[in-house]
Amino acid sequence: MFDINQMVADAARGSVSQGMLAELDDWSPAKAEKVAREEGITLSDDHWEVIHLLRENYRHHGRAPHARQLLNGLEERFEREGGRKYLYLLFPRGPVSQGSRIAGLPLPAYSSDPSFGSVE
């Protein structure tokens, strides 16, 4: 069924037009490497761990309702490595926004909101 409210909400949060893939299956490691190169990142095993975690989270839960919620989950998972500081070393333009772009995922709500502290 067509849901105009969902369509408006999706448009407000960013959609496929911002470079995200319409389906998880459209993504490939080669596409991730290409996007990462364009963003000045050489993907390491550490990057791939975050990327795969983002994709698994999306596969099981769909788009996060809020970028902060996703960032908090990432911080908790990577606490031993340094938490938020570690994640920003890997993805300087934001582990949620830049990580999601490289992972081929739609951005969660408020992931590029300047008041949230996005560096984009």
Q: What are the tokens at 37? A: 């190169």
Tell me how far apart the alpha carbons of residues 120 and 117 are, in angstroms, rounded to a whole number: 9
Judge contact between 58 and 111, C-beta under 8 A.
no
Return the pLDDT at 16.
Answer: 39
Judge contact between 107 and 20, C-beta under 8 A.
yes
Return the pLDDT at 24.
Answer: 65
Predicted confidence pLDDT, tens digits, the chain (120 residues): 444 455 445 545 444 334 444 456 789 999 999 999 999 999 999 999 999 999 999 999 888 888 999 999 999 999 999 999 999 999 999 999 999 999 999 988 877 645 444 455
68, with CB counted inside 10 A (0-12, 13-18, 19+), is middle
Q: Where are the domains of the chain?
A: 8-115
Return the pLDDT at 17.
Answer: 35
Return the pLDDT at 23.
Answer: 54
Domain 8-115 in CATH: superfamily? Answer: DsrC protein, C-terminal domain (1.10.10.370)
Return the pLDDT at 1.
Answer: 42
What is the chain's Cα-based Rg? 14
Q: Which helix (H) or strand (E) holds 31?
A: helix 29-38
